[in-house]
Structure 1
């Protein structure tokens, strides 16, 4: 089984599948083999079959947190965020308290426009993995969406410390400054976003409107 996981991580799907199949045949009542095969199917975006393998694992052991996490990923990838949310929550309740679970649960709430509900999960994900750029950025967005502009601004600045070429962080930092009526700093950040990503339409539009305002 460990060899199968190693092969899966190396992208050798067919070889990994053989090891996982052998594991299932040797231990048909052990959910782990089904979870690993489900992860393989998820990796190749065979969502229908992946769902069946994770469900089989849960049928064998309804306390299998990683099976619920896998099933949550299946629904998340298909943009069924309500079902994804339910399974990520179940994974947490069963003890899988890892940054990725909190992060994806938070994003599932965000995708349903439940920004206040997303916030504590994204905050916890950030606490568990403070150097992960994607988590930090989404946490900043959740703060901004719940009108916590001062804190959001600090978080976007922290994102830029991790990646000084993060155009979306510059754009959202610009929005924060605009919200605080600091037009010059907003323009500065919109301009930086466009320099990094010339096709950043939101930043370009914000930059254009501020320049027109200043001209007038």
Structure 2
């Protein structure tokens, strides 16, 4: 018999810190239909756990019922199955609100069928309305009390509510109904972690991984328990996480967890390698960068540790600026600050968008234009550097724009223009010496001996002064590095503005 199943895939991340039992909950629900043979269903677990937080699991998929034909050729009656199909179409379009309304209509039409309860429970859980989701799963269980998957799913929702006793009862019942059900053992193991009963958790995760050898979620949780036990076994944890990665080499949290185990074993190079890989896979997760900074520091690589800490600080600043932009989207200073922070974090494309937004708001705002010119220079777009700096100089005299344009002119072999800009900017470094030497060579090749001699003398004079030290009457006018300037955020929010990329 071919049946259609609703896959309910969720992630939970309980966290322990000493005696703390608070759960950090990150739930993702993906709804899809699959055709399966037989009366059972296949499970697709979703599990990802860092050792800084407790592991998570997904409930087993919950089966939807077969279609039944109940339409009348004489009357245009919308059947239960048609309502379910319509809800599925809306779920596919991510229209949860209208999907829930249709499912409610289906429930009123046929309250003794479980499919609508299950689908609506998934939508409620996605909205983190776990109590209501528990209610719908209870209704589904009332229809089919011996369905192990329904018990497992309700148990998971109860786990998210930290109702450990009730969750354990559901997982126990699921196991009683189907002793070969690995997801129920895995989820019950999460209950035991929430209660700091690590030996019981260890046994359940082992059982789950025995029943399903490639069950990476249970294996990852098992490795986590090896790290959290009263007498931790980081060597066994490394072995377990490595087995996870042999099955799925991109399993992000197993990579990070193994890094933590290596760190505990003082295998600093291996720990740094794992954390670096985790950062590559999810660069916005600063927890991995924090772990790597710990490993760098333990290995005595203090400069690299400091770089990671500074990057974490920048990411926090970016988050703060993003929040301010949402409240004040027409503040050009905010967009500029965002661009500068993004550039310091090597997020060039996002920085371009932020700068474009700042310039759209005010095309004469010199700091934004200077930052755009620097970005063009970074990407070796020298004609654009010249164009932007020329615009700045048309607006006002600006030493930095003059100097930047001089560098760009040098790189496109417009040496006369470069020297003119360097002199106007009172540039005093090796660049202007190189410019005079280059022009002297050009003039020598053109037979302009006297002019070439004058350029060589000017270069010699500047070089002598550079050797003696900087002049007291003029400051060096080299382009400054991009510096994040403080911005006042006291203006009231406005309604419209450029969008964040």
Scaled by the length of structure 2, the TM-score of the pair is: 0.35
1:26-60 deviation per Cα after TM superposition (whole angstroms, max 9, x unaligned): xxxxxxx55x55434433335154144146348xx
Name stretches of at least 5 consecutive residues in structure 2 with no aligned partner: 7-31, 35-80, 86-102, 125-131, 303-501
C-alpha separation in 1, matches of 2:160 and 2:150? 15
Aligned equivalents of 1:86, 1:211: Cα separation in 2: 45
1:80 maps to 2:80: no
Alignment check: 8 A CA contact 2:198 2:225 kept: yes
Asked if the contact 1:54–1:68 (Cα under 8 Å) also holds between the matched residues in 2, the reply is no
Which of these residues, 219, 244, 247, is aligned with residue 162 of structure 1? Answer: 247
1:50–1:74 CA contact under 8 A, matched in 2: no
TM-score (norm 1): 0.75
1:43 corresponds to 2:122: yes
The alignment partner of 1:90 has SS state of helix
**In proportion to residue count, which structure has more helix?**
1
Tell me the C-alpha RMSD between the 2 structures. Answer: 3.3
> When the two structures are aligned, how many residues end up with a matched partner?
202
Inter-partner Cα distance in structure 1 for 2:248 and 2:147: 37
More deviation, 159-168/170-179: 159-168
Larger radius of gyration: 2
Equivalent runs, 1:60-209 vs 2, <5 Å: 65=148, 68-146=151-229, 147-209=232-294
Please state whether the residue corresponding to 2:250 is helix, strand or coil: coil
TM-aligned CA deviation for residue 145 of structure 1: 1.5
| Preserved contact between residue 138 and residue 154 of structure 2 (Cα < 8 Å) | no
Structure 2 CA distance for partners of 1:196 and 1:93, relative to 1, 3 Å: same
Structure 1: 5+ residue stretches without partners: 25-32
1:38/1:70 contact within 8 Å kept: no
Take 2:287 and 2:184, find their aligned partners in 1: how far apart are those partners?
30
2:207, 2:261 → 1: CA distance? 23
Contact 1:109 1:118 in 2 (8 A): yes
The corresponding residue for 1:6 is: 4
Report the CA distance between 1:170 and its aligned residue. Answer: 2.0
Correspondent of 1:15 among 84, 98, 101? 84
